[in-house]
């Protein structure tokens, strides 16, 4: 093969970026769905188990 | 690549029982509530009523009965929520035991699921049941525990967020921990003709080549929920500010921020891996930024006039 004298330009290197550490706040008490946000309590025995102990137990956090 | 999971209803397996009483559909996931006991009035909570459906094919079935939960649960404890529930593994089954000091020393509820969560039995401790009262078998937190496990097995993810379909059809996702301003944002958009999918919990799924956000019955303090879905035009990580500002985020920051505001089965490595894949896809599907906002109506106009 003849070398036509043309060569591909070497690929440009990406500029070096120093790795950085980003801290992300976690809320494990919210993430595991372990407790109600309100003072209501889940479980049988209340007004129809939909709003136990007279207070709704909707999901934690808003 | 996300894996497509064949969603087959497990008819006729060991956990199947009873007549169909209610069928709920949340995030396009249908759950049948069945019961053999004619004395149990299977109902759903008020906000869940708009998620009741008739048709379709169930993705999961939960059969409710009364029983005796005084004996310790069989199996090995694999997770303690530190609150209402603990999780055990009994052979291939997952067993949730729910306990509260309000009711006494014994568990008030046990839910046993097959390993893919498509079939389960729910036992209410008979001593703690109030006769003639309707029972919502998936009362919090069991509804979200079941759905988050179903989602993490090839379907999607539930996030701590407020979802809005704006008056022009654009869908906005506002993520935040408690106190970040989700309910505030929901109320402001509601006053500005936005439709609120939920002011606290949103389901994200990748279907038909794009990410959809779904309303859920799990509302926050504003009690706003809607059984609809919409696509995503923008993702915002909420925070309070002295003025309305958008701060750019890298893809890695977006995925990390989404994960920190997701509800995932931390006890299941495969489920965690799938969830991260979904979140990566979510982050790539729509522009995202930190939104520092002033809690008044100016934030609505600010977002509308500053598309990401």
Secondary structure string (H, E, C) spanning B9-43: CCCCCCCCCCEEEEEEEECCEEEEEEECCCCCCEC
Query: How far apart (Å, rounded) are the C-alpha atoms in residues B195 and B135?
Result: 30
How many beta carbons lie within 10 A of that of residue B12, not counting itself?
Answer: 7
Query: How far apart (Å, rounded) are the C-alpha atoms in residues B65 and B67?
Result: 7
Predicted pLDDT at A24: 86
Q: Which of B35, B41, B84 should be substituted to probe chain A, the one whose Cβ sees the most A Cβ atoms within 10 Å?
A: B84
Longest Cα separation, chain B: 60
Span A5-61, pLDDT tens digits? 567 778 888 889 898 888 888 898 899 998 875 433 344 433 333 333 333 344 444
How many beta carbons lie within 10 A of that of residue B105, not counting itself?
Answer: 7
Span B231-279, pLDDT tens digits? 999 999 999 999 999 999 999 999 999 999 999 999 999 999 999 999 9
pTM: 0.87
Span B169-200, pLDDT tens digits? 999 999 999 999 999 999 999 999 999 999 99
Does the beta-carbon distance from A34 to B45 stay under 8 Å? no
Which one of A45, A46, A58 has the shortest CB-CB distance to B140?
A58
Does the beta-carbon distance from B83 to A30 stay under 8 Å? no
CA distance A2 to chain B (A): 44
CA distance B218 to chain A (A): 6
Which one of A25, A30, A59 has the shortest CB-CB distance to B140?
A59
DSSP string spanning B50-62?
A: GGB-SSS--SEEE
What count of Cα atoms within 13 Å lies in the side-chain half-sphere of residue B249?
Answer: 27
Cite the beta strand spans of chain B per DSSP E. 19-26, 29-35, 60-67, 76-80, 85-90, 93-98, 109-113, 119-125, 157-165, 171-175, 195-198, 201-207, 210-215, 229-231, 234-240, 245-248, 262-263, 288-293
Span B135-172, pLDDT tens digits? 999 999 999 999 999 999 999 999 999 999 999 999 99
How many beta carbons lie within 10 A of that of residue B38, not counting itself?
Answer: 7
């Amino acid at each position: 093969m003849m070398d036509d004298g043309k060569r591909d330009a070497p690929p440009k290197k990406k500029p070096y970026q120093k790795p950085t550490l980003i801290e992300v706040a976690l809320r494990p008490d919210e993430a595991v769905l372990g407790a109600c946000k309100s003072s209501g309590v889940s479980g049988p025995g209340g007004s129809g188990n939909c709003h136990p102990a007279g207070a709704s137990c909707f999901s934690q956090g808003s | 690549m996300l894996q497509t999971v064949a969603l087959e209803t497990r008819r006729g397996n060991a956990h199947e029982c009873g007549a169909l009483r209610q069928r709920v559909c949340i995030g396009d996931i249908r759950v049948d509530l069945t019961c053999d006991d004619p004395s149990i009035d299977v109902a759903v909570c008020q906000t869940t009523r708009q998620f009741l459906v008739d048709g379709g094919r169930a993705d999961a079935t939960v059969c409710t009965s009364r029983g005796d939960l005084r004996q310790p649960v069989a199996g090995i404890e694999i997770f303690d929520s530190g609150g209402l529930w603990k999780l055990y593994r009994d052979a291939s089954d997952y067993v949730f035991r729910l306990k509260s000091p309000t009711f006494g020393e014994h568990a008030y509820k046990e839910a046993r699921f097959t390993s893919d969560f498509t079939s389960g039995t729910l036992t209410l401790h008979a001593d703690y049941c109030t006769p003639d009262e309707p029972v919502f078998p998936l009362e919090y937190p069991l509804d979200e525990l079941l759905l988050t496990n179903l989602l993490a097995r090839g379907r999607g993810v539930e996030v701590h967020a407020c979802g809005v379909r704006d008056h022009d059809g654009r869908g906005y996702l506002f993520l935040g921990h408690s106190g970040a301003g989700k309910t505030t944002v929901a109320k402001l958009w509601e006053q500005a003709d936005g439709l609120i999918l939920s002011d606290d919990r949103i389901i994200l799924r990748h279907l038909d080549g794009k990410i959809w956000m779904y309303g859920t019955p799990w509302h926050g303090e504003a009690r706003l929920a809607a059984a609809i879905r919409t696509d995503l035009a923008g993702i915002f990580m909420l925070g309070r500010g002295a003025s309305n500002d958008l701060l750019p985020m890298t893809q890695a920051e977006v995925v990390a921020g989404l994960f920190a505001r997701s509800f995932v089965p931390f006890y299941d490595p495969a489920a965690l891996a799938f969830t991260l894949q979904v979140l990566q896809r979510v982050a790539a599907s729509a522009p995202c930024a930190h939104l520092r906002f002033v809690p008044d109506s100016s934030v609505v106009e600010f977002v509308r006039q500053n598309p990401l």
